[in-house]
Structure 1
Amino acid sequence: MKKLFGLLVAAASLMVILSGCGAPTLSVQSHHLNPDGLAAVVKGKSNQKNVQYVIKNGSHSEAQNNEAPIGLGGTDTISGAYAITVPTKAVKQTMRLSAGGKHQTVTIAKANVLSDYSTLQNKYNQALTGTALSKKDQKLAAGMKKQAADLKKTSEALKTNKATSMSAMQAKAKQAQQIKTDAEKLKREQIQLAGAMKQAQASVKDVLLPKNAKSGVNNLVKTKDFTIRTNVDNQKVVGIAMMVPTKGLKNKSQMKSFVMSFSILANSVGANAKQVLKDFQKITKDKNKSSTTTPKIHSNGLTFSLGYSTTTLYIFITK
């Protein structure tokens, strides 16, 4: 009887141990994350096969309302761990994770806006198209831009001119006629340049930014020389990544294509592209080849973060 009782106690103890091992677990590496590049990566551990999540705008208290989630899904655990990549937004996000009845909450800080997408698209495409013009047409376009600015300034000054004397009124009329003549000349030059601009646009059409961009992280330009990827939230650009094949950095033609597009992209969001490229060259020369990350470059409030894989150079632009 004692032997039987001992076996029962041992069996009961084993059941307790086994039930403890089977209890659902769910943890997160951090409850508060800042944007990193185009996204934030939520990491944690669970003994469950799958972790489900719901994402809402706002802080934890604000996300308790009945507002529809902005994201939901699930991911499988691998060896008891999981990682979920969440594109950052121009607002704070709250993620609620669930597994086996256990819950965790993670807050993802908002990302600062780099630019309206339409502004970025317009600046980048205009500048890139300009590089495809002949030297003569580039000079003409630059002159036209200055003429247009001067005409606007002169016209505004003329409107505020309250001339009353005869001589002053005659001078004002003469000036108005000159403005009209200059405006007509500018219009003729614009028509002359329109054909060249159309040809230039056609020659760079594969590397122009599309008129509209979907929300979230998407590739907008993809060529053999480089890829431009953006994170857009309601037509607000909150992050840009440019990816370049590392082997292309040794090819003169591919390097030229990358440098041109990167410079225009950087300038389009307000950076000093010339200085950024100088810093970039210094970093790549000093870089420890065994490292996968490099120091960050700063320009006019923008941050350029560099990373390497075995095949690709990544440049992230954030604010």
Structure 2
Amino acid sequence: MKIKKLIASLALAVATVAVLAGCQSQTVKLNPTKDTYATNGLVAVVKGTVSKGAKVTYQIGDGTVQKGTNNDGTFVIQVPGQLKKTTVTVKAKKAGQTTTKKVSVRKTKAIATYPEFAMRYNMINQQMKIVADPLPMTQKNGLVDFYNHDGIRIRANVQSQQVVGIAYVFPVKYMKDKTKMKDFAMRLTVLSTAVGADGKQVLKDYQKLAKDAQNGQTTVDNIHNKGITFETSFSDKGLYMYLVKK
């Protein structure tokens, strides 16, 4: 009888292990690459691996739940820079199973108050007779285009009526077009002045960077002016400039 009981106990143990193994095999994989992310340019890029076929969602702070994309077992979420340390909740769901992970995005600094920036931006554009849609005096949170035409793009991150960062993208194909380059210079002056920097000096500093780029440099020194950093890089596609505060 003792042997029969022992065999029965072993059988039950094996069955339990098998059930547990089955449950483990159904666990949805979700592994962010870090616990904490920093903003680079306009966004913090939260990324990692996830079970293939799982549905990915994320929530920034106490904001609305948004859909993510599962790219054959990897995910990438762009979180606009935040003015305070913020928790991002990422979930992966598949076959009735859900895995949740929380990561943090470090706080970043604002470069200007939005209403003041918008007022200056609109006024200077009008004074310099630059074609641009006037900005409203209030703005929703998130990434917003201030200008987007013919591949030239000025995009900003606005949080709580604060301008957290601005991206200025200019296609390389226009760099030998005198009219386009004049337009680029004027818009750079407007942006610089609107965030409180010295627009004329920033333009002079940029001209030096452009000469370095013509000599084959793809990474150049950043421009620093009145507390604003102009992170600048060149590629075979264009110029990328980010106005941020470190």
Normalised by the shorter chain, which TM-score bucket?
0.7 to 0.9
Alignment partner of 1:316 out of 235, 242, 245: 242
**Alignment check: 8 A CA contact 1:75 1:82 kept:** yes
Alignment partner of 2:75 out of 82, 87, 109: 82
- Aligned partner of 1:148 in structure 2 is none
TM superposition shift of 1:54: 1.9
Matches within 5 A, 1:88-107: 88-99=81-92, 100-107=97-104
RMSD of the alignment, in Å? Answer: 2.8
Residues in 1 aligned to 2:176 and 2:116: alpha-carbon distance in whole angstroms: 33
Residues in 1 aligned to 2:225 and 2:100: alpha-carbon distance in whole angstroms: 41
Structure 2, unpaired ranges of 5+: 1-14
Going from structure 1 to structure 2, the CA distance change for 1:20 and 1:92 (only over 3 Å counts) comes to: closer
Residues in 1 aligned to 2:64 and 2:235: alpha-carbon distance in whole angstroms: 29
**Alignment check: 8 A CA contact 2:27 2:99 kept:** no
**Alignment check: 8 A CA contact 1:128 1:208 kept:** no
- Aligned partner of 2:10 in structure 1 is none
- Aligned partner of 1:124 in structure 2 is 121
**Alignment check: 8 A CA contact 1:263 1:274 kept:** yes
Which amino acid in structure 1 is aligned with residue 82 of structure 2? K
TM superposition shift of 1:108: 0.9
TM superposition shift of 1:41: 0.7
- Aligned partner of 1:70 in structure 2 is 63
The answer to whether 1:304 aligns with 2:230 is yes
Structure 1, unpaired ranges of 5+: 1-11, 57-68, 133-203
Give the helix-richer structure, 1 or 2: 1
Going from structure 1 to structure 2, the CA distance change for 1:16 and 1:116 (only over 3 Å counts) comes to: closer
- Aligned partner of 1:249 in structure 2 is 175
Residues in 1 aligned to 2:155 and 2:69: alpha-carbon distance in whole angstroms: 26
Give the strand-richer structure, 1 or 2: 2
TM superposition shift of 1:244: 1.3
Percent identical among aligned pairs is 31
Going from structure 1 to structure 2, the CA distance change for 1:295 and 1:30 (only over 3 Å counts) comes to: farther
Question: Number of matched residues?
Answer: 223
Residues in 2 aligned to 1:29 and 1:286: alpha-carbon distance in whole angstroms: 35
- Aligned partner of 2:7 in structure 1 is none
The answer to whether 1:41 aligns with 2:45 is yes
Q: What TM-score results when the alignment is normalised by the length of structure 1?
A: 0.62
TM superposition shift of 1:247: 1.2
- Aligned partner of 1:207 in structure 2 is 132
TM superposition shift of 1:280: 2.4
Task: Give the secondary structure class of the aligned counterpart of 1:227.
Answer: strand
The answer to whether 1:267 aligns with 2:193 is yes
Residues in 2 aligned to 1:33 and 1:112: alpha-carbon distance in whole angstroms: 15
**Alignment check: 8 A CA contact 1:225 1:257 kept:** no
Task: Give the secondary structure class of the aligned counterpart of 1:210.
Answer: coil
- Aligned partner of 1:32 in structure 2 is 36
Residues in 1 aligned to 2:27 and 2:43: alpha-carbon distance in whole angstroms: 32
- Aligned partner of 2:12 in structure 1 is none
Q: What TM-score results when the alignment is normalised by the length of structure 2?
A: 0.78
Matches within 5 A, 1:213-228: 213-224=139-150, 226-228=152-154
Going from structure 1 to structure 2, the CA distance change for 1:14 and 1:312 (only over 3 Å counts) comes to: farther
**Alignment check: 8 A CA contact 1:207 1:223 kept:** no
